[in-house]
Amino acid sequence: MSPCEAYEYAFKNEPDEDIKNIAYQDPFYAYMYALEIDRSPREDTRKVACRHSFYAYFYAKDIDKRPRKDTRSIACENPLYAYRYALYVDEGPRGDTRKAACRDSRLAYFYAKKIDKTFRKDTRKAACQDPEWAYKYAKEVDRDFHEDTYNAVRNTKYEKEYKEFLNNRMKEEVV
């Protein structure tokens, strides 16, 4: 019997330990088992779900409905799930989720904008690894000139837009 078949059997019938053990061989079915059959968090289903950052994040969000060290730690193995964990589970910034999100320039920008809601050296540095996100960081997070963001967009298609943004900022300040 496959984990899928075990989950489907448990869903339609009375679950038993042998069926659970088969379903628990796969993080997806362990997550679904906790969500749809147990309808509550359990150490055994969480442990299996924590084999993958995707399921660790969703387990914390949908089943635990609160942050936990174990699910956060696994979610932080993937920048996207670290970002989502901070946004939807922690509902605020933390050093570990920020550090993980900063492994991706796009997610560093979004972390600064939506979670930190301000600029930081670490998120700016990570965003500056890609000119597009450096430009957006300057425009929407720093909302001003910063040497790091300017250096990241120099000699790229974003340099002209960056300069236009700064010129418009100066015009606004004059008015």
pLDDT number for residue 148: 97
pLDDT number for residue 174: 61
Q: What is the pLDDT of residues 11-33, one digit of tens each?
A: 999 888 888 999 999 999 999 99
Question: Average model confidence (pLDDT) for the chain?
Answer: 94
**DSSP letter for each residue of the chain:** --HHHHHHHHHHS---HHHHHHHTTSHHHHHHIIIIII-S--HHHHHHHTTSHHHHHHIIIIII-S--HHHHHHHTTSHHHHHHIIIIII-S--HHHHHHHTTSHHHHHHIIIIII-S--HHHHHHHTTSHHHHHHHIIIII-S--HHHHHHHTTSTHHHHHHHHHHHHHHHHH-
pTM across the whole model: 0.91
